[in-house]
Structure 1
């Protein structure tokens, strides 16, 4: 029986073996005549082969595991597509976060669609006239005029009466005469201000744009998921408030162009009245622009109530009529490449429209448009202190001709998820009630947001409650922060950043490719919108071509190397930024988009340097590799850096605690190895005594625990060359700004015992920085910029060091009494200069 079973098993095994082509030497005709002993021998041979195969597989597996453990991990390849979408805040607007967005479309999106390309169709006529057919199919909207509704509004009528009464008292005329004059002026202001948006003009102009834009722009890109999201928002029937960050005059044209091409209602766009020039002003008005005076109050210190009321009423009535609104919350275009601090004027009107019941809600849409090369040229003249050139018909024609002859690469538009104004207001009211639980001894509770007709006009102009002012400011800062975080990173941004802050003295093309690969991976992990694809060497060559030889120099060099007793030569490309004035200022404009991504790490490193001035260059500490710092010290120093640079960056959302964000950034530095968390080492008796002492403390356990934990956490600083180099690189990002602020603080002594106009003081500071650049004591030419100087003066005003008063439309600055001496001004200088110091440099 055993023999029969063995024979049957061997027969089955032999058939399986024949299917796997192992018995290659067996003849099929002789297989059936094999004896039982032959079958047994064949089975034994197969078992030995299987055992040997298993042994070989085990050895290969062990060798592979050893290789995996002992070798460096291979970096993951950079994905060819970027799944980027910026959601609204989960803390402030959780309901809005779950609306309007299709999760599937977000997950499967590509780099985006080029809106300059249209589907031409199959017929010959459609191919020839593709743009005409495409524009003809645009959805037609009724853009209602609100002129008469504005003139009949109670708010404007009341402003006319108040203005007439004031003028009658000052001019000695009758109130009736002044009312007639005020009514005439209000109507004149409105006619100059209002938009004359026309569906016909929109279609004609955008047919022309379809022909002209490809002459100087390679593509205009937007994500398909963002298009679908806005179409859903448009279908809600609520007013859409588009709030882009402002880089170029092309911003509002491209926004309207994109919306109209996807059948979304075009907005009324707030524009400066400097653009109301012959022909082009009429054209912009037909495209939806309404014009606002750059200086609302002609006499500083005296408010033009009539103009403000007209503007306020026009915006309110436009919202009531169902118009969408677009405005630039920064006011003007950024001159540095960083977002400007928000101005709450028009936003306060929109908030007021909701709070008095004009609209039931509105959807706020933060946006950001970025360009590989700025169409407007550059702002170098203005940053060097020269006055801005006013727009004119001739300037516009010359600018258009220059633009059409240029190559400006790609522009990318990113649209954040819209959020409900009503939800955001309620969220901030709850936060205010939580932060201020009692007011005048009474419990503070959120008030209902809708109430009777508001008497305020523009933000900060009339009697506005402080809590309402804070609400508007918080929303404005949130919008700017969201827009900056969603800003597309173009190829020119990342290449300019690397050359300016990592390879300022030049590098080879191969080195730049390696650095770009590494930074692309960092940005992908951080979920930033990297708006370019392809091989890094191609990205670099494209960016260098866009930036041009005026900003980056390329040189072919021959390098000789000795190998195996032979001298070999090879050619490489050396790349160096033009780091002299004024070119470096333009270069820094493109690099500043990337500075925003690393600014918190740079702030923390500056805080670490300031806290460890004496220890970090101590030879004994370096030899022992033992340089430690407490968390609370770093957080305190980093918060002071943020206070100095408060008008340069918005470091976090208004709903976040900046101290906690800095602690999270310390965790990021821990992950890179720059610092290492040291565990607390206390005896059990000491811990017991601390817990026992805590029972006598009136503060809550949670509050005490948090404070104690923050105070006692300690970090060890790594002094290895790799980590030291990374810290120097991070600290370099803020050095140009710190240098500017340092010389502004140094120049305060020029105000001791006297006063100066803001323009004269700015010129004094510019001259001081220029002198030190020529001497070589300032290493960064981009420190010579007007905008950071003006921001530094705002900081000194906020610190109550400076005071100002208007005199004939000129801002006069002087030192407060307690700072009106050289000792006091020197303390301010030392406070700022403490963060200029760095390791083994100064």
Structure 2
């Protein structure tokens, strides 16, 4: 029977609870420490009470009990010896049976590899970097939530004002900022002279010294204004105040910001080297650079200078970003009076080199802008070319490249559906910034996972791609090129001989960052719904598919940022995505999950799905290549399959980086094909003649005798496994990149009618998008996410690369037209047929 408490005691307990809650809200660190001390005291008192009770409690048995216990002890020891003898015999029999089983049974090819959370540098390109900075003891440590802090402070200030005290005691760095002395740099002076001479030539006043000096003064003043507008105002005071503000604001709309201690440890060790760190994040949100600065500052790593687009140079917000390290650059360097803007380029190059020489870390987004599709973008080479040139001309001894990837449960910036449907981007403004901040604070965006790759030496990477780079004379490095005047890349800074090195390293960085991007619950669920269950699925069946997907991702070392039962993961992801993207329905007492696959909802849902598309891109390429080949004989020629897969990779060269630049595409495709054969049983084992041919080829690699040189090569044959489960896998893989191929095919079909005219890029993209939407209504196009402005732009780039279209810039306008070809319509049709042959056919 439980007696009720007196009313006075109930009131006292209620008052105590309210007062305790108020204290916890006012000073959480003090209350946490107080509760820990109370818990410790309770444990000590409890343990001592039990010790006293055991010590003074009377024995229930007498001497006979002790004798009995002694007998039991002896009997127990005999039994133990017998058990040990029996267990030894059992062990011997078990080992013999296991050896027999190993000999008789075929080896299990479904091996699981130990998973590493440390994103190590490429062993092929940077072997020395790969073997350094790695602490195996931190490799498997638990993830750290940046919102949870442990304050080791004592005293009243440390207890009651812990967050303020934390920021005050944070590590302080010296920030050497640029000043007017940069204007005395030789390259800036030369650019002013060159600009002045070109202006004199245009005005045809070559002998007028007074006019020359006036123009030169105006150009010098412009150089000074450009430097003042561009340069960062990185301040320790602004960093500390902002860090306190971020720590209070981020938890309002984010559940957690997760980092791995082992990755942070590598960055901390790298920062002690004295070399500048070049942070190269993939760009998903405006929150990216704030989060990166927040993480580095709280781990005692010097925050970097951040290259930011001049569209963020807003009143108040722009100044705050400058104090956090932002330096503003133009997204497009427009020519002045039809000529290159030599002064702006010289100021930008000099400022970056000065910052590196002064010991600053640098951060810039190698993709240029935020991805609108969820897939990584192809790299831009402008700023990176300046950093490479800084190493080649001796400005810096070396630099450490740090690829970074961030992923969000739900994108804080909203969605990009308007832009993907062809509408122009809305420029940032003070009002739009305030509005987006308010909406963010009142929303729930789940968690953010930030992954740092192992820092790798830039000098080592350059040597890997161009071993003789140090022997290039300065005269060659400063050779002019004929690239676009709107980019730093390809101008006076970059030599033609070094372009391939810059491009290869940039692509390697994007590939590494893409591979290390963690998969969120929303990504996995959206991927399965769009590729396998577009018409809806029960939650139990979806959970089974998610289990299989998790196993595949674990095997390939892809990190998952979610744990627990798949049903719980699905419910969390569906709630996070919201009813505008995924709906829950009750059908005959069964819960059905159904994606919204109509426009524009499908475009937003595909953003999350596309996080996983690059991971399965080559699997999808192989499945589509199989589907395009003739299988009437029941076999597929291996060389035909390789040719089709390579051709498909060529078509999608602006969508994916299929392999590292230090690897060959053929070998990578073969590795993926072998994986599908052995893990998914894609093919039945090849016939005997093909096995003999493969044996001869392998033997010739180890045999110095050339007698077998005239033996004809026999291409291996693959027999497709017609098991329903295998065919289901092929169908699943095939669907992954089909929306892209549909967009490319319709783009090729649309430009056939443009063989005799020149058209603006905006009008051409609009015509293609309209054609896509019309064919979507007619069911000629199957996937609504095929309607994508970014994919259309990539298709047009491909047609220019293939030499079918020409692209010409007139100011800020871009024009497309056909090249001077003999039969334009026929060539356009051939291009359309080449792409269209990989579109759906019966499996």
Q: For the superposition of Structure 1 and Structure 2, which TM-score range results when normalised by the shorter chain?
A: 0.7 to 0.9
**Aligned residues of 2:392 and 2:470 also touching (Cα < 8 A):** no
Question: Structure 1 CA distance, aligned partners of 2:187 and 2:390?
Answer: 13
Confirm whether residue 630 of structure 1 aligns to residue 637 of structure 2: yes
Aligned to 1:88: 121
**Aligned residues of 1:320 and 1:358 also touching (Cα < 8 A):** yes
Question: Structure 2 CA distance, aligned partners of 1:641 and 1:19?
Answer: 73
**Aligned residues of 1:82 and 1:109 also touching (Cα < 8 A):** no
2:502 pairs with one of 458, 464, 472 = 472
Aligned to 2:590: 572
Shift of 1:536: 1.7
Aligned to 2:623: 605
Question: Structure 2 CA distance, aligned partners of 1:395 and 1:267?
Answer: 27
Aligned to 1:101: 134
Question: Structure 2 CA distance, aligned partners of 1:453 and 1:812?
Answer: 33
Aligned to 2:659: 652
Aligned to 1:448: 471
- Residues 116, 701 of structure 1: alpha-carbon distance in 2 compared, 3 angstrom cutoff: farther
Aligned to 1:304: 341
- Residues 689, 257 of structure 1: alpha-carbon distance in 2 compared, 3 angstrom cutoff: closer
Shift of 1:134: 1.6
**Aligned residues of 1:300 and 1:808 also touching (Cα < 8 A):** no
Aligned to 2:147: 116
Q: Counterpart of 1:271 in 2: which secondary structure?
A: strand
Question: Structure 1 CA distance, aligned partners of 2:296 and 2:743?
Answer: 41
CA deviation profile, 1:287-324 (whole Å, cap 9, x unmatched)? 00000112112469742111111101110111111111
Shift of 1:211: 0.5
- Residues 324, 819 of structure 1: alpha-carbon distance in 2 compared, 3 angstrom cutoff: farther
Aligned to 1:376: 413
CA deviation profile, 1:148-204 (whole Å, cap 9, x unmatched)? 232111001000000011112213452211110110111111111110110000110
Shift of 1:677: 3.9
TM (normalized to structure 1)?
Answer: 0.83
Q: Counterpart of 1:805 in 2: which secondary structure?
A: strand
Confirm whether residue 166 of structure 1 aligns to residue 198 of structure 2: yes
Aligned to 2:63: none
Question: Structure 2 CA distance, aligned partners of 1:514 and 1:522?
Answer: 13
Confirm whether residue 763 of structure 1 aligns to residue 766 of structure 2: yes
**Aligned residues of 2:254 and 2:447 also touching (Cα < 8 A):** yes
Confirm whether residue 525 of structure 1 aligns to residue 555 of structure 2: yes
Shift of 1:517: 1.2
Q: Describe how 1:352-751 pairs up with structure 2 within 5 A.
A: 352-430=389-467, 447-448=470-471, 455=478, 458-462=488-492, 464-558=494-588, 571-612=589-630, 615=631, 627-671=634-678, 672-681=680-689, 712-751=715-754
**Aligned residues of 2:477 and 2:494 also touching (Cα < 8 A):** no
Question: Structure 1 CA distance, aligned partners of 2:811 and 2:803?
Answer: 23
Confirm whether residue 753 of structure 1 aligns to residue 748 of structure 2: no
2:327 pairs with one of 290, 295, 318 = 290
Confirm whether residue 813 of structure 1 aligns to residue 836 of structure 2: no
Aligned to 1:697: none
Q: Counterpart of 1:681 in 2: which secondary structure?
A: helix
Aligned to 1:143: 175
**Aligned residues of 2:119 and 2:263 also touching (Cα < 8 A):** no
Shift of 1:137: 1.7
Q: Counterpart of 1:594 in 2: which secondary structure?
A: coil
Question: Structure 2 CA distance, aligned partners of 1:704 and 1:390?
Answer: 68
Q: Describe how 1:238-253 pairs up with structure 2 within 5 A.
A: 238-253=275-290
**Aligned residues of 2:690 and 2:716 also touching (Cα < 8 A):** no
Question: Structure 2 CA distance, aligned partners of 1:707 and 1:140?
Answer: 71
Shift of 1:338: 0.5
Q: Counterpart of 2:466 in 1: which secondary structure?
A: helix
Shift of 1:556: 2.6
Question: Structure 1 CA distance, aligned partners of 2:289 and 2:711?
Answer: 48
- Residues 207, 20 of structure 1: alpha-carbon distance in 2 compared, 3 angstrom cutoff: closer
**Aligned residues of 1:301 and 1:806 also touching (Cα < 8 A):** no
Question: Structure 1 CA distance, aligned partners of 2:76 and 2:264?
Answer: 57
Question: Structure 2 CA distance, aligned partners of 1:312 and 1:329?
Answer: 16
Question: Structure 1 CA distance, aligned partners of 2:687 and 2:421?
Answer: 50
- Residues 302, 791 of structure 1: alpha-carbon distance in 2 compared, 3 angstrom cutoff: farther
**Aligned residues of 1:265 and 1:324 also touching (Cα < 8 A):** yes
Question: Structure 2 CA distance, aligned partners of 1:518 and 1:682?
Answer: 33
- Residues 261, 446 of structure 1: alpha-carbon distance in 2 compared, 3 angstrom cutoff: closer
Shift of 1:704: 10
Shift of 1:20: 7.8
Shift of 1:733: 0.3
Moved more, 770-779 or 409-418: 770-779
1:192 pairs with one of 217, 222, 229 = 229
**Aligned residues of 1:357 and 1:450 also touching (Cα < 8 A):** no
**Aligned residues of 2:405 and 2:451 also touching (Cα < 8 A):** yes
Flag structure 1 segments of 5+ consecutive residues without an equivalent: 1-13, 23-45, 431-444, 559-570, 622-626, 695-699
**Aligned residues of 2:408 and 2:446 also touching (Cα < 8 A):** yes
Shift of 1:701: 8.8
Q: Figure out how many residues of one structure are paired with residues of the other and give that number.
A: 748
Question: Structure 1 CA distance, aligned partners of 2:185 and 2:93?
Answer: 87
Confirm whether residue 152 of structure 1 aligns to residue 207 of structure 2: no
Question: Structure 2 CA distance, aligned partners of 1:493 and 1:192?
Answer: 40
Question: Structure 2 CA distance, aligned partners of 1:459 and 1:668?
Answer: 39
**Aligned residues of 2:278 and 2:363 also touching (Cα < 8 A):** yes
- Residues 741, 20 of structure 1: alpha-carbon distance in 2 compared, 3 angstrom cutoff: same
1:774 pairs with one of 777, 781, 790 = 777
Shift of 1:784: 0.3
Shift of 1:688: 13
**Aligned residues of 1:355 and 1:450 also touching (Cα < 8 A):** no
Aligned to 2:800: 797
Q: Counterpart of 1:550 in 2: which secondary structure?
A: coil
Q: Describe how 1:186-335 pairs up with structure 2 within 5 A.
A: 186-298=223-335, 302-335=339-372
RMSD: 3.6
- Residues 839, 281 of structure 1: alpha-carbon distance in 2 compared, 3 angstrom cutoff: same
Question: Structure 1 CA distance, aligned partners of 2:571 and 2:127?
Answer: 43
Question: Structure 1 CA distance, aligned partners of 2:734 and 2:365?
Answer: 32
